[in-house]
Structure 1
Amino acid sequence: MKVVILCGGQGTRIRDVADNIPKPMIPIGNYPILWHIMKYYSLFGHKEFIICLGHQGKVIKEYFLNYQINTSDFTLQLGNKESIQFKNKSQESDWVITFAETGDKAMTGSRIRKIKKYIGDDSQFLLTYGDGLSDVDIDKLIAYHQSHHRILTLTGVRPAGRFGEIMCTDEGVVSEFNEKPQAAEGRINGGFFVCNKELFDYLPDNDDLVFEKEPMMHLVKDQQLMQFNHNGFWQPMDTYREFVLLNGLYENDNAPWKKW
């Protein structure tokens, strides 16, 4: 399946870490968090990516355009750029990446709608955010989605902090979706979606369209939103503390998502 990654939002800046780069390019070890997300999906065989660009999208483009040079040993004869001889083959050489300019100020729902043409004839696709990591089993997530025959599956997680809440029936049908409640108990939206192509029917042409609001509410009303429970690791990177946490896990070889 193609993997759509939302990387265009201006989001929150992490002071002293991401003043001049978009959040998906904040490093964990030697690679940006976006690379870690893509690497994780690729381990499950999903190596075709659609990156929804917006704010500072040029930085993301330039990173991947120069990827082989920046990650490989090579020999160069000065004065002849064509003489570059790479000494090792990148493990990511089979990745296929589409960089889609979805607007500097577009919201999440609008960004997803704008990449419909790149989904092509595929009946399903994967979707996630460019600033969060998990060890969710992608194979089991897809199998669950295909078992219930509804339009959208999200991954419900239990984080340490409060973000928003999902309520669902014992069968997994989402009955209520509150993106940021004041006080509630339950799981939150951890991203890592599986989508049927019919999702685009819920995304009108509106740059202010927030995927997590009206579209999801309409899917809930139509009983077309399901929840896959994930009890393992999930961690966004929104603060300096979370930046330090993720880097610490990676540097100490204790990163749950690092399965390569």
Structure 2
Amino acid sequence: MKVVILAGGYGTRLSEHTSVVPKPLVEIGGRPILWHIMKLYSYHGLNDFVICCGYKGILIKEYFLNYCNHGSDFTIDLERNQIETYRRPAEPWKVTLVDTGEATMTGGRLKRVREHLGDSTFCLTYGDGVGDVNIRELIRFHHEQSALATVTAVQQPGRFGAINLSNDRPRASHFREKDARDGQMINGGFFVVEPQALDTIDDDASVWEQAPLARLIDQDQLAVYRHHGYWQNMDTLRDKAILQDLWDRGNPPWCVWNQAPASAQLATTA
């Protein structure tokens, strides 16, 4: 199963960092937040990524082009212009990097990478949020619901798309962008999507969280997976400070790959 990561936005609320690098490359614990997100999916057995680049996307491409070299030791013979490399184990990732346009909206970015997704179910998330979401359980839930898309709802007051849930059915009844009311379950990303859901996207100006999701709700095709564990986005300097502080304390809650052997997790969730 492929994992699409939206990584093309401007990140204006983190301009102290994003004037230099795109938000997905802003570091927590010496690693880009993008790396943390990919490690979560990899821990659950998903290693095929499609990254939607936009603003400063060339830097994301360069990060992966140099990934193996940065993780290796080597000897340079300057006189002979030779390099002897001592490889360290690399992540088992296949990464497709697509320039989806600097000004393209989230739905437009998704539509632009459709040719890389085939006809199978895929995961979708943002390049600025982490959590201890059980991705395998999320995928299983999505298939049980037989919906065209599933969104992960998290408990967080604030500035994101608020989801109204029906009490007796795992379906969204309404989706509002940037609802400010405290106590709402909000869009935490971590979607599971069927290829047919992309038919709800019109063009580059389409915002995934607006018309496409509204159309899926109208068709009763947006399921909601409620995540009651840890979740945190990195939208502002305060958000970054929260994540860095948790990292500095040791055992940050989203780093599930450090909390138990991956093989044990795969065995219990298969």
TM-score by length of 1: 0.93
Residue among 242, 254, 259 paired with 1:257? 254
Q: Which moved more, 1:138-147 or 1:74-83?
A: 74-83
Bigger helix share: 2
Q: Is the 8 A contact 1:155 1:193 kept in 2?
A: yes
1:91-130 Cα shifts (integer Å, max 9, x gaps): x1x2000001111100000000011100123x20000000
Q: Is the 8 A contact 1:165 1:184 kept in 2?
A: no
| Identity level (%) | 44
1:139-154 equivalent positions in 2, closer than 5 A: 139-154=136-151
Find runs of 4+ consecutive structure 1 residues off by over 6 angstroms: none
How far residue 19 of structure 1 moved from its aligned partner, in angstroms, is: 2.4
How far residue 198 of structure 1 moved from its aligned partner, in angstroms, is: 0.7
How far residue 87 of structure 1 moved from its aligned partner, in angstroms, is: 4.2
TM-score by length of 2: 0.90
1:28-177 equivalent positions in 2, closer than 5 A: 28-78=28-78, 83-90=83-90, 92=91, 94-121=92-119, 123-169=120-166, 170-177=168-175
Partner of 2:265: none
Unaligned runs of 5+ in 2: 258-270
Aligned-partner Cα distance in 1 for 2:33–2:227: 20
Aligned-partner Cα distance in 1 for 2:87–2:60: 25
Partner of 1:179: 177
Q: Indicate yes or no: 2:212 matched with 1:215.
A: yes
Q: Is the 8 A contact 2:10 2:18 kept in 1?
A: no
How far residue 225 of structure 1 moved from its aligned partner, in angstroms, is: 0.3
Q: Partner of 1:235: helix, strand, or coil?
A: strand
User: Structure 1 pair 77/11, CA: closer, same or farther in 2 (3 Å)?
Assistant: same
Question: What amino acid sits opposite 1:99 in the alignment?
Answer: L
Q: Partner of 1:76: helix, strand, or coil?
A: strand
Q: Which moved more, 1:3-12 or 1:223-232?
A: 3-12
Residue among 219, 229, 234 paired with 1:232? 229
Aligned-partner Cα distance in 2 for 1:21–1:148: 39
User: Structure 1 pair 23/32, CA: closer, same or farther in 2 (3 Å)?
Assistant: same
Aligned-partner Cα distance in 2 for 1:98–1:11: 22
Partner of 1:23: 23
Partner of 1:201: 199
